[in-house]
Amino acid sequence: MAVLYSVIPMCSLADIKDKRQMPKDKTEIVYGVHAVRYVIERSPESILDFWIQASPRSAVLKQLIELAGSNSLLLQEVPRTTLDKLAGGNRHQGVVLRQRKPPLQQEGDVQSLLDNLDKKSALFLVLDGVQDPHNLGACLRTADAAGVTAVIIPRDHTVSVTATVQKVASGAAETVTVISVANLARTLRRLQEAGIWLIGTDDEANESLYSVDLTTPLAFVMGAEGSGLRHNTKQYCDRLVRIPMHGSIGSLNLSVATGICLFEAVRQRSA
């Protein structure tokens, strides 16, 4: 039997902005079928507004509407142009929601995580200054697939978990533990003190990724797009490795390099 859902009357973007006002830093926009589905499944109570395209609707969107109805969420039909504005011109697939922003874990949470961690299976990902939200989203999606313990990003000089990141991550932004730290160097020292090996990536490194034992508790430390690891960050790494390149291009996209490194660790641990 079809699930019933409630639809409130269509209104303009100006009307939407007047309703249920909360400080912008306390809420966030989420768009795209996969990202929205994960929010409904995991934290429907956080949803403040739910907008859907009036018409036409895909089969996937209709399934999403039924899921919203089963969670007693109010849906608001709006024109596609309104969704375009709400999503900042990004591809929203006919659905946008606004939710209370979940608190991002902070530097103090690192020690609590380490205290309750099975060190043998520890696999961290440290992203030193990633600027492109598409790269961060892709890294989170790969981190989820590889079973990463947590992703650590510096609070400053890096992109945060935005709506674009959530869209690209396809739900992984809600499943992967992301820790934003004020002092990356201090956090790296804390990981080392807990017995986590820091493996940095560097195109000029002497060691190949494939010659290093990745079955120990470790954290891959990946540099920013183009510039790579900062000098101060590189100093904290226990080892530096490179991904062997056989073509004319000297480096890989950050998210691609991250996937190669993480799944080489997964391969070695599975073997």
Of residues 92, 87, 88, the one with CA closest to residue 32: 92
Residue 18: the pLDDT is 46
108-270 shares the fold of 6-100: no
Residue 164: the pLDDT is 84
Query: Domain-by-domain residue ranges, the chain?
Result: 6-100, 108-270
SS3 call for 198: strand
List per-block mean pLDDT (blocks of 10 residues) for the chain, which spans 271 residues: 44 50 72 88 88 83 87 89 89 89 75 84 93 92 95 87 83 85 93 95 93 96 86 93 85 92 96 81
The domain defined by 6-100 folds into 60s Ribosomal Protein L30; Chain: A; (3.30.1330)
SS3 call for 130: coil
Residue 199: the pLDDT is 97
Residue 17: the pLDDT is 53
Distance, CA of 114 to CA of 118 (rounded, Å): 8
Distance, CA of 51 to CA of 58 (rounded, Å): 15
Residue 90: the pLDDT is 83
Residue 1: the pLDDT is 33
| CATH entry 3.40.1280.10 includes domain 108-270 | yes
Residue 218: the pLDDT is 96
pTM: 0.74
SS3 of 204-252: the string is: CCCEEHHHCCCCCCEEEEEEECCCECCHHHHHHCCEEEECCCCCCCCCC
Residue 22: the pLDDT is 58
Residue 9: the pLDDT is 47
Residue 246: the pLDDT is 86
Residue 129 contacts residue 158 (beta carbons within 8 Å): yes
Backbone dihedral region of 93: left (phi > 0), alpha (psi from -120 to 50 degrees) or beta?
left
SS3 call for 24: helix
Task: Give the N- to C-terminal CA distance of the chain in Å, as an integer.
Answer: 47
- Where do we find the tokens 């790269």? 135
Residue 156: the pLDDT is 84
Residue 212: the pLDDT is 96
CA dihedral 62, 66, 72, 74 (to 10 degrees): 10
**Burial of residue 191 (number of CB atoms within 10 Å: 0-12, 13-18, 19+):** buried
Residue 63 contacts residue 37 (beta carbons within 8 Å): no
